[in-house]
Structure 1
Amino acid sequence: MHLFLLLILHVPAAIGQIDPVDCRDALGMQDERIEDEDLTASSKWYDTTGPQNARLHSEKGDGAWCPKGQLEPSDSQYLQIDLRKLTFLTTIGTQGRYAGGLGKEFAQLYRLNYSRDGVLWRSWKNRLGNQMLAGNINTYNVVTNDIKPPIIARYVRVIPVSRLSSTVCMRLELYGCPWDDGLISYSAPVPSFNDSTYDGVLDRRKLIGGLGQLTDGITGKDDFLLSRQTNMWPGYDYLGWRNDTPGTLEYVEMEFVFDKPRNFTSMKVHSNNMFSRGVKIFSSVSCSFKPHPRLSWEAEPVVFNTVLDDRNPSARYVTVPLNRRAATHIRCRFYFADVWMMFSEISFQSEDAVLPALPTQMSMMGTSAASDVHATTTSAPKTAAAPSSTDSSDDGNTPILIGCLVTIILLLVIIIFLILWCQCVCKVLEKAPRRILDEDVTVRLSSCSDTIILQTPPVPPRSRHPPADPHYERVFLLDPQYQNPAALRNKLPELSQSAEASACGGGYAEPDVTQCTPHQCFNNNAPHYAETDIVRLQGVTGSNMYAVPALTVDSLTRKDISAAEFPRQQLIFREKLGEGQFGEVHLCEAEGLPEFLGEGSPLPDRDRRSVLVAVKQLRADATSQARNDFLKEIKIMSRLDDPNIIRLLCVCVSSDPLCMVTEYMENGDLNMFLSQREIESTLTHANNIPSVSLSDLLHMAVQISSGMKYLASLNFVHRDLATRNCLLDRRLTIKIADFGMSRNLYSSDYYRIQGRAVLPIRWMAWESILLGKFTTASDVWAFGVTLWEIFTLCKEQPYSLLSDEQVIENSGEFFRNQGRQIFLYAPPLCPPSLFELMMRCWSRNIPDRPAFEGLYQALRPHVNQ
């Protein structure tokens, strides 16, 4: 207990709210509390005009800081101030260079950049989006500017701006107060009332990594339609969420990140309570804590229920006790009490004290803590007075102190031993089921009855070698009658039919017409094949682009490949696009490729000496099975010929490493293309904002359906249809590809099963997740999700409200068919008839889903020809 007390550091509690009107203390430029070493600059004329001279009302050196040379309109010369701690900056005052009447340089305009960590820099702008601040009109008068919104930062850069080439010099002072709150960012779903001053990023309808209106010190009025800021839209002071907004059906989840570990006593949330208009304070809040960024969230949250008030419509602060919990990250879920929930300010009260909360933390600190205590006890004689008659009593206490220290050390050793023993036992228990059940893995969902087993498909007795893809898992519900495929097929007629059609194949290869009738092999409803009859190409990128019927040969040679051999030395590598288990995908320049391909070349620019291409390259250490799969993929791709399918142009297989060269589209993938655009409007035209029209979106949908119609006519199953796998050229022609899984940018779109298989579960049909059945019908399901992506402009991930485990659980609801399954919402841009088509793609019964031929015919009339 004494050791714990030695580790506690107490600092006065932080002040929760800051009033920008009162927060105007000089921060120390003029009186030199900000030291010379904290002032740096991008350049200086001479040492006498260095940054140390940029102090208001100071005539040291040559009278100011002056960047070197003539300042050009395009320059970004800066003076940087390190405030040594997070500061709430509200005002700045500037002067020119006076130098006893000899100076005549000043900055008429300037900008501000700032950073909280010295790494990520942000540009300040006012509430209307203007970055410029008015500077000086002479060399001696001080011009003071209020910084609205205020800046929360440790580092500040003042950047003089000149309309014409000229010499400028500056002196300045900063005004504000310490930011004792310690909050450095908050993340939240995008509110219906925009957080217009937020300095983080917007990613998939979520604000991430910044601060904004919740920390600007301005509380909203009782009537949220009235604003304390002039010339602002109604509701400006508040961040508001509706309970029917995507991402906020039951609660709004916010995450708060702090500069260092703190013990939090309370959180204060300024909330609107205008209940006559459907706005109330939150009904309850649940906050979880993370003591360190690398640790997991602690299991026990703090839950607080508010007392709802239906009589007083005044906005008010709600204080949430946080019970002195230690954390660097806090995640809070605010639950709706009505249609709307609106916040204008959030602050935290804390102490800069770290209490050891877990025995594991103490055990890791054991050695250093014991040495600290030892240092404390042994350093005492150095400062002690000369021995006297009173020392005898101290000598009597020495054995007691030694005994306490030995006891503490023994306790720490025992704790460390117990931790190591628990880890060892966990490893043994972890390995035991694998020995018993081979590679069965159990995943528990939120409901006890919804446990599922992820099971690898057995090797069929007639196969001479294991399946090509050991990373794929089949998923079955953990119910006695559902633990084997036969029971499921007996329960679901459509699965029984799929087993009968399994001989037809249905993958990315030539159908074996000797084993089924033409009607069976080429019908638009797509045969449902048995899993064990399918070879799954792992491919270079680690993806399973197409399901392939089992081939009759064990290996392929060069004579089986119809693509031409391209001179390897004419490929110039430019950039790595992605990588997988056995290879990499590169962006390359192919010199002389149009001439090499000759007449009928699919390349649009025949007159260029070199063109951009994508090159899949097999790694030198790839297995023989991967090498054989690579050659099979080449053979299959060389036979695809459709304007909306990526084309194999040539190969390099005469020597290692094996390469295949495919088309590369200038506009990249559809996901990235759409996420950077807005829907076309007069506003986008006026401000030159990249945009697309509704007609463009429909045209994209038609092209994807056309490409998938072609694949379906050959019974080829893509398995990973999504906007990330659709590439665009500069004329917005779409070609379906398979690079998505190989790119780190889209790693969050794939669910990793125990570190092995990766599956795009948010795009997969329920039977693909639960039974491992990939068919043209499951591609139709993915096509519906792809349409949804297109008409949300790829601004969010499908089922963004659900975790990966909940997505799998939702597929179980489709299987049980009790009306509890969750569908994607209708995008605002999507015509009702088109959303109805999406819903048909997500039909629970497989035969009820439309064929790609029907989808193409339904979509084509919507496009303006």
Structure 2
Amino acid sequence: MIAHLGVLLVAAAAVGAQVNPELCRYPLGMTGGQIQDEDISASSQWSESTAAKFGRLDSDNGDGDGAWCPDMLSEADSFKDYLQVDLRSLHFITLVGTQGRHADGMGNEFAQRYVIQYSRDGNDWLEWHDRKGRQVIEGNRNAYDVVLKDLEPPIIARFVRFMPVTDHSMIVCMRVELYGCEWLDGLMSYSIPDGHQMIYRGQDVYFNDSVYDGALAERLTKGLGQLTDGTWGQDDFLHTQTYSMWPGYDFVGWNNKSFPKGYVEVIFDFDHVRNFTSMKVHCNNMFSRGVRIFRQVTCYFRSGTEWEADPVTYRPNPDRVSQNARFVPVSLGDRTASAIKCRFHFGDLWMLFSEVAFQSGSAVYNTSLAPRKHGHPGTTIPGEDPTHKVDDSNTRILIGCLVAIIAILLTIIVIILWRQVWQKMLEKASRRLLDDELTARLAFQTQAFSYRHSSLSTEDGSSSNSTYERIFPLCGDYQEPSRLIRKLPEFAQSTERLVPASTTSGSDGAPHYAEADIVSLQETQDVNKSAINMDLFAGTDSSMKEFPRHKLTFKEKLGEGQFGEVHLCEAEGMQEFLGKDLSIEGNDESPLLVAVKTLREDANKNARNDFLKEIRIMSRLKDPNIVRLLAVCVDTDPLWMITEYMENGDLNQFLCNLRLKEVACEESTRKEEKDGGSYNKLIGMAVQIASGMKYLSSLNFVHRDLATRNCLVGKEYTIKIADFGMSRNLYRGDYYRIQGRAVLPIRWMSWESILLGKFTMASDVWAFGVTLWEILTLCKEQPYSQLSDEQVIENTGEFFRDQGKQIYLPKPPCCPERLYTNLMLSCWRRNAKQRPSFLEIHTQLMESLA
């Protein structure tokens, strides 16, 4: 029991050390002023009024000309000009933002392109490049809009330079912000042998550290790379988190035949002497292909010039059952060091790592872990020895506190279980009592939600909130609005099994979102429709033939659910297999790109029945704007179904890649764009989505997750509705998880779906209005991007109360007023019965094209 508790404590400590790029997106102080003027410098300045200190994003304090502008004419090479920010300590930087010069509305200078350099020590400068080797970042197109760019891969640095790329005769100006979080690991560099190449079934698999920023040779030195980029490799090392990268990209790995001593030696160098508690290593364990986690690791420590003689050795328990990749926690025994040398011994033919993180105690941090005030670094208290180890009594106190916390958590779990039993007893309560309860709960939150539509949008519909407010985390005094949902009986039921959501009361079961479930058959009180739906479940479709499994080549994992996965695959000979009657029109390519949904072999009987039921339903969906089921593989386990996948990917990414050269904001001045971004083509896409939804609604199907991420784009702007977007990492931020319950795309959901659990065709109409808004804004931002998830839920409460305080999405710049008022806003009416049908939506959109 004590041994298990020790492992638990090590694992808990290790979790705190792992940086999460999706959460590590805080502004680091250019906008808010935490970074002081003395920490901002530049290679040159056009004048005193355009000095480096004025290069702060969204800064308009009346001083200077509102931006940093270099003296470009003084340099023959424009790459020498830079704006430098000193963060005073190492930070994990995931995002950058840029603006041009405002100059009280008179400025028109901005950087169209720029590059980034960074340094961890101020001496060695490195140039950032993306995962495909590109260095130049697309910047601004005007002087006022904020352009945010994700850094993939992220960078770990103390010093960052923004370097405009332009004709040296042209004046450019920049305002910037950095987003990320403090790099608590303190790791400055690691040294490893260069990764090896595997040949698996005739396929080349490369395990090199492709983003390493140090010296590249037989051994990589003085840099950081994929082991610290925050991206964890998948269970199958042939699949990657980044689309279109080569197999094995997420892992760094070695073959034991190249290491006579049987181990790989990795050296980690840190910013200063630290007291190390633990290390965790993310390892692949696909032993069916000769890959296992390390058999043993021995770590040596160094605080000065010599390695200490007494190492720490750890042997993980071998796992011969699960092939899942996982983090392996290694206790480092509170050892003090500024460098660690670890020897990882092979457990099989191959050893693959994708991430390494460290947890070090506070004894060596002194005040450096405290939040930085006004940009100044912490100082060591006189007389303290930074190499002093934590006292054993402190360790005992820590263990005692953790045991107390575990006891408190167990008490909370008991209370939660008791509350669930109590909530189930309320399921038969009348709707009126429910509404009264909800009204009282929402009234209690009135002061916490004081936003107005007029304060969020200017007269032309553009958002007036700053970038800082959109990205900065929620204030600490905010109440948890998800309690509104937990209070409702509809959300008290477990969602561990698949159940259809009711279209009448919303109380028959919590909504469940299956990761690749295209549509869900809905129950209804209409006897005739029920008879039609029951007929869909009967029998099998003779047109669904068995496709040979060996002709499928897996390319990328698109999604992962509780009982299965969705993969992007190449199907060799699919066109010939389908024949002329079922072939995919306009697509003669071989192999054909398809999506394959798989059911895990260990899935239970209910999941298996649901999978076969979905095959029967999808085999009967035949519409030009609905993704088709092409074939199945059900002769043996695991069960697979094969559906269409369009060559241009999902609509969200397709629109993000478009660039409108001239935005026509008046109906009479719609102009054709060179890159296909015209208003008519955008409305044409919406027409196709409305047509597909019209077909689904005619069969009484409710989609429940309509959005651009779930629409696929083919040739000639063909759009087909699917449901592959939910569990892709790219769209993880579009879903809000209620602990132990549903995962909800709340920014696309109607108020009654969020608060009452009611999913109807009218709620799909609401989601279509949001999808149309996405299309006309080219998916430049999330819906309600100025609101946090909690505020979005609170806004649905305002729809419920109907006191005129609810916030609507603003009119897109290129959307005609009539379309916004007559169609979009009608999709978001409080009364679901007053929303238009998909037949009416399709007709109105067709008329707007005429």
Instruction: Please tell me the residue identity of whatever aligns with 2:678.
Output: S
Q: Is the 8 A contact 1:537 1:629 kept in 2?
A: no
Secondary structure in 2 aligned to 1:530? coil
Q: 1:615 aligns with which of 577, 596, 599?
A: 596
Alignment of 1:461-610 (within 5 A): 470=497, 528-531=503-506, 539=514, 541=515, 543=517, 545-549=519-523, 559-569=539-549, 571-576=551-556, 577-605=558-586, 610=591
Match of 1:662 in 2: 643
Alignment of 1:776-815 (within 5 A): 776-815=761-800
Match of 1:724 in 2: 709
Instruction: Please tell me the residue identity of whatever aligns with 2:659.
Output: E
Q: Is the 8 A contact 2:516 2:724 kept in 1?
A: no
Q: Is the 8 A contact 1:149 1:216 kept in 2?
A: no
Q: Is the 8 A contact 2:520 2:703 kept in 1?
A: yes
Instruction: Calculate the TM-score normalised by the size of structure 2.
Output: 0.51
How far residue 805 of structure 1 moved from its aligned partner, in angstroms, is 1.3
CA distance in 2, matches of 1:850, 1:557: 29
Secondary structure in 1 aligned to 2:701? coil
Q: 1:696 aligns with which of 658, 681, 692?
A: 681
How far residue 535 of structure 1 moved from its aligned partner, in angstroms, is 10
Secondary structure in 1 aligned to 2:796? helix
How far residue 17 of structure 1 moved from its aligned partner, in angstroms, is 4.3
Q: Is the 8 A contact 2:423 2:489 kept in 1?
A: no
CA separation of 1:418/1:658 partners in 2, compared to 1, >3 Å: closer, same or farther? Answer: closer
CA distance in 2, matches of 1:183, 1:740: 31
- Greater Cα radius of gyration, structure 1 or 2: 1
* Alpha-carbon displacement from aligned partner over 1:212-235 (angstroms, at most 9, x marks no partner): 9x97699xxxxxxxxxx98556xx
CA distance in 2, matches of 1:719, 1:129: 54
CA distance in 2, matches of 1:640, 1:127: 60
Alignment of 1:375-394 (within 5 A): none
Q: Is the 8 A contact 1:582 1:622 kept in 2?
A: yes
Q: Is the 8 A contact 1:764 1:778 kept in 2?
A: yes
CA RMSD of aligned residues (A): 5.1
CA separation of 1:532/1:823 partners in 2, compared to 1, >3 Å: closer, same or farther? Answer: closer
Match of 1:170 in 2: none
Instruction: Please tell me the residue identity of whatever aligns with 2:549.
Output: Q
How far residue 440 of structure 1 moved from its aligned partner, in angstroms, is 6.2
Instruction: Please tell me the residue identity of whatever aligns with 2:693.
Output: M
Secondary structure in 1 aligned to 2:829? coil
CA distance in 2, matches of 1:433, 1:654: 44
How far residue 436 of structure 1 moved from its aligned partner, in angstroms, is 4.0
Alignment of 1:203-282 (within 5 A): 206-209=148-151, 232=170, 237=173, 239=175, 255=179, 257=181
How far residue 706 of structure 1 moved from its aligned partner, in angstroms, is 0.8
Q: Is the 8 A contact 2:367 2:380 kept in 1?
A: no
CA distance in 2, matches of 1:585, 1:610: 18
* Alpha-carbon displacement from aligned partner over 1:355-392 (angstroms, at most 9, x marks no partner): 89xxxxx9xx99x8446xxxxxxxxxxxxxxxxxxxxx
Match of 2:760 in 1: 775
Secondary structure in 2 aligned to 1:18? strand
How far residue 506 of structure 1 moved from its aligned partner, in angstroms, is 9.4
Q: Is the 8 A contact 2:93 2:178 kept in 1?
A: no
Q: Is the 8 A contact 2:827 2:836 kept in 1?
A: yes
CA separation of 1:763/1:128 partners in 2, compared to 1, >3 Å: closer, same or farther? Answer: farther
CA distance in 2, matches of 1:666, 1:743: 17
CA distance in 2, matches of 1:627, 1:573: 24
CA distance in 2, matches of 1:671, 1:776: 23
How far residue 721 of structure 1 moved from its aligned partner, in angstroms, is 0.2
Q: 2:82 aligns with which of 150, 170, 173?
A: 150
Instruction: Please tell me the residue identity of whatever aligns with 1:530.
Output: S
Q: Is the 8 A contact 1:574 1:588 kept in 2?
A: yes
* Alpha-carbon displacement from aligned partner over 1:266-300 (angstroms, at most 9, x marks no partner): xxxxxxxxxxxxxxxxxxxxxxxxxx9x9xxxxxx
* Alpha-carbon displacement from aligned partner over 1:457-480 (angstroms, at most 9, x marks no partner): 6799xxxxx9985488xxxxxxxx
CA separation of 1:459/1:795 partners in 2, compared to 1, >3 Å: closer, same or farther? Answer: closer
CA distance in 2, matches of 1:654, 1:128: 71
Does residue 818 (structure 1) correspond to residue 807 (structure 2)? The answer is no
How far residue 205 of structure 1 moved from its aligned partner, in angstroms, is 5.4
How far residue 549 of structure 1 moved from its aligned partner, in angstroms, is 2.6
CA distance in 2, matches of 1:538, 1:707: 20
Secondary structure in 2 aligned to 1:782? helix
CA separation of 1:255/1:666 partners in 2, compared to 1, >3 Å: closer, same or farther? Answer: closer
Instruction: Please tell me the residue identity of whatever aligns with 2:504.
Output: Y
Does residue 644 (structure 1) correspond to residue 625 (structure 2)? The answer is yes
CA separation of 1:739/1:680 partners in 2, compared to 1, >3 Å: closer, same or farther? Answer: same
Q: Is the 8 A contact 2:513 2:742 kept in 1?
A: no
Identity %: 40
CA separation of 1:14/1:793 partners in 2, compared to 1, >3 Å: closer, same or farther? Answer: closer
CA distance in 2, matches of 1:680, 1:566: 48
How far residue 773 of structure 1 moved from its aligned partner, in angstroms, is 0.3
Q: Is the 8 A contact 2:627 2:722 kept in 1?
A: yes
* Alpha-carbon displacement from aligned partner over 1:521-550 (angstroms, at most 9, x marks no partner): xxxxxxx423356797765x3657324338
Alignment of 1:122-521 (within 5 A): 147-150=79-82, 185=93, 187=95, 191=99, 193=101, 196=112, 197=114, 199=116, 206-209=148-151, 232=170, 237=173, 239=175, 255=179, 257=181, 326-327=368-369, 349-351=375-377, 353=379, 369-370=388-389, 410=393, 413-414=396-397, 416-438=399-421, 451-454=483-486, 470=497
CA separation of 1:145/1:581 partners in 2, compared to 1, >3 Å: closer, same or farther? Answer: same
How far residue 657 of structure 1 moved from its aligned partner, in angstroms, is 1.5
Q: Is the 8 A contact 1:471 1:756 kept in 2?
A: no
How far residue 587 of structure 1 moved from its aligned partner, in angstroms, is 2.2
How far residue 861 of structure 1 moved from its aligned partner, in angstroms, is 2.2
Q: 2:611 aligns with which of 618, 630, 633?
A: 630
* Alpha-carbon displacement from aligned partner over 1:177-236 (angstroms, at most 9, x marks no partner): x99686785856664755654648789953445999x97699xxxxxxxxxx98556xx5
CA distance in 2, matches of 1:327, 1:18: 25
Secondary structure in 1 aligned to 2:39? coil
Instruction: Please tell me the residue identity of whatever aligns with 1:583.
Output: G
Secondary structure in 2 aligned to 1:784? helix
Does residue 677 (structure 1) correspond to residue 613 (structure 2)? The answer is no
Instruction: Please tell me the residue identity of whatever aligns with 1:788.
Output: W
Aligned length: 511
CA separation of 1:449/1:647 partners in 2, compared to 1, >3 Å: closer, same or farther? Answer: closer
Secondary structure in 1 aligned to 2:81? strand
Unaligned residue ranges in structure 2 (runs of 5+): 1-35, 46-51, 53-68, 102-109, 117-127, 129-136, 140-145, 187-275, 279-365, 425-440, 449-476, 525-529, 665-672
Instruction: Please tell me the residue identity of whatever aligns with 1:452.
Output: L
Secondary structure in 2 aligned to 1:585? strand
Alignment of 1:8-47 (within 5 A): 16-18=39-41, 20=43
CA distance in 1, matches of 2:376, 2:739: 39
How far residue 863 of structure 1 moved from its aligned partner, in angstroms, is 2.5
Instruction: Please tell me the residue identity of whatever aligns with 1:545.
Output: V
Match of 2:838 in 1: 852
Q: Is the 8 A contact 1:506 1:715 kept in 2?
A: no
How far residue 842 of structure 1 moved from its aligned partner, in angstroms, is 0.7
How far residue 734 of structure 1 moved from its aligned partner, in angstroms, is 0.3
* Alpha-carbon displacement from aligned partner over 1:701-732 (angstroms, at most 9, x marks no partner): 11111111111111111000000010011211
* Alpha-carbon displacement from aligned partner over 1:805-856 (angstroms, at most 9, x marks no partner): 1111111111011111111111112221222211111111112211111111
Secondary structure in 2 aligned to 1:587? strand
* Alpha-carbon displacement from aligned partner over 1:762-810 (angstroms, at most 9, x marks no partner): 1000000001000010000000000111111111111111111111111
Q: Is the 8 A contact 1:506 1:548 kept in 2?
A: yes
Instruction: Calculate the TM-score normalised by the size of structure 1.
Output: 0.50
How far residue 599 of structure 1 moved from its aligned partner, in angstroms, is 3.2
Unaligned residue ranges in structure 1 (runs of 5+): 1-12, 23-87, 89-125, 135-143, 154-177, 219-228, 241-252, 263-291, 295-323, 333-347, 357-361, 372-407, 461-465, 473-504, 508-527
